[in-house]
Structure 1
Amino acid sequence: MSHTVEILSVGTELLLGNIVNTDAQMLSQGLSALGLNVYYHTVVGDNPQRVRRAVDIARQRADIIITTGGLGPTCDDLTKNVLAQAFGKKLIYDEESARRIRSHFVRTGRPVTENIFQQAMLPEGCTIFSNDWGTAPGCAFQAEGVHVIMLPGPPSECGPMFQYRAAPYLRQLSEGVILSHTIKLFGIGEATVEARLREQMNAMTNPTLAPYAKEGECELRVTAKAAAPEEAQALLRPTVDQLKALFGSKVYGVDVPSIEAVVEDLLRQRGMTLGTAESCTGGLMAKRLTDVPGASQVFKGGVVSYTNEVKHGVLGVSQELLDRFGAVSAPVAQAMAQGARRVLGCDIALSSTGVAGPDRDDRGNEVGTMFVAIATADGTHVKQLHLGARPVRARLRTQTATHAFDLARRYLSGLPYEETV
């Protein structure tokens, strides 16, 4: 039997946008790995009538309902009450859960009040999930052909509760595993990718293939379902290899977090260092590089040379170049990269300069006119970009930084800077 899962997230703070629903993302990934198909995500506020309606809808279309939130001690923690009522279950006081709750409050120095023991009221006959990461226990029960799993809302509790409590319970219901590989591409749009793969995607059933557009790049997700991980990997491997061959150097990695993480890994492998000189990206390249753990091993530093005075005074870009060509030009981008390499003492330096908007610059360059450059011991290469189709500052800066990282990736991988597929 194939199971249909609905994740029901309870919490008004989710609807208001005060917090991001990371629980649902984590659960979807974990359930997919267990071979369980998530068909629906629902978010509902802390209102008993609305929660009950959401439960009634979920039980009609899913045979596994997983809830997050609403298990705490306050008056708006109502998930258990509503679910017990919906499935005709009595709430029973569990002495062991109450003991654990009291022990947790005493250990953490918090006052023991009567309302905290509301968390020990659990559906009759349920499987109790003890919570070693907080106070509210989770639980699971089956009724009317539906499996109901309740987990606490705080991500620091929901994550381990799913991994160590709910997942073993759910493995008994799973019919196999679902595995995916994500192929990351840069320099080619989703529409082009989809056009090349349309016939293949329509013909595929297991594994399946789907493209996803990201900011300035594209992902290909290949997913297979099988009885065991080894069988799923055997299904995935030929398709992944085929796609890597098809898109060539546009593929910057498989199952990698980002292009900057790939660059940093290549730098470590080669024992090299990198620095940046940024104008239009305003430090975004440095920020993205230092977001990667262990960046200090390979990243020397960066210069945000937003004005011509800094380009000239710190990076050593000649005043003649600035006067003759303007800050947004190939010669200045080249001189910025060379200057950063010299000033920072790094093996490779990247630079960016351009017009991020909202208006043209004083030389008439259109919004989205960008230059990125790379300086190495083997010379300097400059790339001009025209990114103004949708001139949004954040998008332009992100894409410009990614183009600069792609220059570094290509250099470190021995690939040509410019290549079409």
Structure 2
Amino acid sequence: MNVELISVGTELLLGNIVNTNANYLSRKCAELGLSLYYQITVGDNKKRLVNVLKECYKRSDIIILTGGLGPTEDDITKETVAEVINRELVPDEESKKRIKAYFDFRNTSSDASGISANNWKQALKIEDSIVITNDNGTAPGYIVEVMDTAVLKKSTGKGKRIILLPGPPSEMIPMFEKSIFPYLKQLQDTVFVSKMVKICGIGESKAETQILDLIEGQSNPTIAPYAKSGEVHFRVTASAKDTEEANRMLEPLLDELKKRFGDHIYTMNEEETLEEVVVKLLHQKKLTLATAESCTGGLFTGRIVNVPGASDVLKEGYITYSNGSKMHLVGVKEETLEVYGAVSEQTAGEMAEGAAKAAGTDTAVAITGIAGPDGGTSLKPVGLVYVSCYVKGNVVIRECHFRGDRQKVRDQTVISALDLLRRNI
């Protein structure tokens, strides 16, 4: 089945907000095995939205709209869809109850009834639509099943499905996960099962070269590469009549990928991040962690702190940006800095060992480098970074050379440091 995404909102066209909904929905369509051929962004303009809907209706089986379901005058999605498919807007009693309960809870009063007329607009549904409950806001979503004759002048014998979801990701994503994903899944005759093989410590070109024969010879299952900053991901997907068969089809290919990439693979769980893997390993091995960061300025520590439960393993984080802080906070020798410089293998090693000693931890990660855009020399160019890892008396140091702007160098450095720690604990 062909799917099309329509993102509604002038703020998207102006670049005031990033369209993360489209990114999320694209991934979910791929997971469901749906063919996504078009994505369109349209402003809060009824005439243009009508034209877009009619065009989408000609070429797509499923149309998913996000945005424009709020209580204000420029929220026009529901009204415009109803007009295009020749249906009325009718009161929905359950939506009324939920809106009243929402405002009762917030103790909001904007007219005699306690709720403004604009908010009651959200209790109207498209005639004969399926209402999708919003547990995090007042705007429900809708699934509308229609025959193509509702818009087209002649019938192709196909039904169409139009799905309307609110724009805020905190509302849209839970609604999609809870209601829309299962609905779309049951429409499929074929089951699709995907695994995401996540790799770090090896570049995209080299990774693809190592499995080029598998990519060129693919049919079912398929392999699709995705490059991220400092990482390479491969989505492996099998289609079959049921989940069990699809998983059986995936096993030989996943085993082959494990054989070829070895410990470069850090997870096959799509939702799991590299920092989550590291924190989990520290938990499992009952190890504690300290950090000493120069050019990353706490970026590494922030990634660790993002993981729930990090407080059980992370004991101290030092920002050692200056030479003085390197000496006073983590005990780097003045002689080391004078002879080898702040950006050196020797300094990185002393930073890691000194951080562990100062914090009394089993492990430590230290980072020192030149993120740019200035500060580089012919001997120590911009992008040169030393990452070191201390684990129970042993120090491992990695010399890295990164390209890109200041932020890219820092981001890649953090990935390299997480990977180094993962491999040594």
Q: TM-score, normalised by structure 2?
A: 0.88
| Structure 2 CA distance for partners of 1:155 and 1:370, relative to 1, 3 Å | closer
Q: Is the 8 A contact 1:357 1:391 kept in 2?
A: no
Higher mean C-alpha displacement, 157-166 vs 200-209: 157-166
Match for residue 317 of structure 2?
A: 302
The letter of the residue matching 1:263 is V
Work out the CA distance in 2 between the residues paired with 1:399 and 1:167.
34
Distance 1:104 1:281, change over 3 A: closer
Matched, 1:346 2:349: no
Contact 1:32 1:178 in 2 (8 A): no
AA paired with 2:371? A
Letter in 1 for 2:147: A
Task: Provide the residue aligned with 2:337 in structure 1.
Answer: 322
The residue that corresponds to 2:289 in the other structure is 274
The residue type equivalent to 2:171 in the other structure is E
1: distance between equivalents of 2:238 and 2:293? Answer: 42
The question of whether the paired residues in 1 share the 8 Å contact of 2:210 and 2:260 is answered with no
Q: What secondary structure does 2:40 align onto? A: strand
Deviation, 1:189, is 1.4
In 2: Cα distance, 1:355 partner to 1:368 partner: 6
1:108-161 CA distance string (max 9 Å, x none)? 323322233323333333233344543333322213131112222233332333
Offset at residue 56 of structure 1 (A): 1.9
- Tell me, what secondary structure is at the counterpart of 1:293? coil
Q: Deviations over 1:305-354 (max 9, x none)?
A: 11111111222211111111111111111111111111011111111112
Alpha-carbon distance, 1:64 to partner: 0.8
The answer to whether 1:153 aligns with 2:151 is: no
Higher mean alpha-carbon deviation, 86-95 vs 57-66, is at 86-95
1:258-312 deviations in Å (ceiling 9; x for gaps)? 3222222111111111111111221121111111111111112121111111111
* RMSD (CA atoms): 2.3
Paired position in structure 2 for 1:399: 412
Which residue of 2 is the match for residue 381 of structure 1?
396
1-structure distance, mates of 2:374, 2:216: 44
Residues 8 and 43 in structure 2, CA contact (< 8 A), matched pair in contact too: yes
Contact 1:264 1:295 in 2 (8 A): yes
Note if contact 1:210-1:220 (Cα within 8 Å) is conserved in structure 2.
yes
Letter in 1 for 2:259: A
1:367 is aligned to 2:365: no
Deviating more after overlay: 61-70 vs 374-383: 374-383
Matched letter for residue 134 of structure 1: G
Q: Residue 117 of structure 1 aligns with which residue?
A: 120
Against the structure 1 CA distance between its residues 305 and 83, is the aligned structure 2 distance closer, same or farther, given a 3 Å change threshold? same
Give 3-state SS (helix, strand or coil) of 1:338's partner. Answer: helix
Aligned to 2:155: none
Matched, 1:312 2:327: yes
In the alignment, residue 114 of structure 1 is paired with which amino acid? A
Q: Secondary structure at the match of 1:185?
A: strand
SS of corresponding position for 1:193: helix
Which amino acid in 2 is paired with 1:393?
R
User: Which residues in structure 2 correspond to 1:280-291 (within 5 Å)?
Assistant: 280-291=295-306
SS at match of 1:212: strand
> 1:214 deviation in Å?
0.8
Mapping 1:28-107, distance limit 5 Å? 28-107=26-105
Q: Go from structure 1 to structure 2 and tell me whether the alpha carbon gap of 1:131 and 1:327 turns closer, same or farther (over 3 Å shift).
A: closer
Alpha-carbon distance in structure 2 between the residues aligned to 1:203 and 1:324 = 54
Gap change, CA 1:321 and 1:231, over 3 Å in 2: same
Does residue 1:409 correspond to 2:407, yes or no?
no
Amino acid in the other structure paired with 2:409: L
Deviation at 1:23, TM superposition (A): 3.1
Deviation at 1:172, TM superposition (A): 4.1
> CA, structure 1 residues 171+242, in 2 after alignment: closer, same or farther (shift >3 Å)?
closer
Alignment partners' CA distance in 2, 1:378 and 1:244: 31
Q: Which residue of 2 aligns with 1:201?
A: 215
3-state SS of paired residue (1:72): coil
Q: Structure 1 stretches of 5 or more lacking a match?
A: 413-421
Relative distance call for 1:113 and 1:252 in structure 2 (3 A) is closer
| Contact 2:385 2:400 survives alignment (8 Å) | yes
- TM-score, normalised to structure 1, is 0.89
Q: Per the alignment, do residues 198 and 340 of structure 1 end up closer, same or farther by CA in structure 2, a change over 3 Å counting?
A: same
Structure 1, 256-265 or 220-229: larger mean CA deviation: 256-265
Aligned equivalent of 2:151 = none
**Number of positions where the alignment pairs a residue of Structure 1 with one of Structure 2:** 408
Please tell me whether residue 249 in structure 1 is matched to residue 263 in structure 2.
yes
Mapped partners of 1:198, 1:165: distance in 2: 38
Is residue 259 of structure 1 aligned with residue 274 of structure 2?
yes
DSSP 3-state at the match of 1:314: helix
Distance 2:93 2:370 in 1: 66
Letter in 1 for 2:4: E
Go from structure 1 to structure 2 and tell me whether the alpha carbon gap of 1:334 and 1:143 turns closer, same or farther (over 3 Å shift).
same
> Which stretch shifts more, 24-33 or 252-261?
24-33
Unaligned runs of at least 5 residues, structure 2:
149-158
Query: What residue in structure 2 maps to residue 419 of structure 1?
Result: none
Q: Distance in 2 between matches of 1:191 and 1:282?
A: 30
Q: Aligned in 2, Cα 1:50/1:364: closer, same or farther, shift over 3 Å? A: same
Counterpart CA distance in 1 for 2:347 and 2:20 is 43
Contact map agreement 1:356 1:391 (CA 8 A) in 2: no
2:410 maps to amino acid: R
Displacement of 1:47 in angstroms is 0.8
Please state how far the C-alpha of 1:33 moved relative to its aligned partner: 4.7
Structure 1 residue 379, shift from structure 2 partner: 2.3
1:335 alignment counterpart: 350
- The CA distance in 1 between the partners of 2:392 and 2:102, in whole Å, is 60
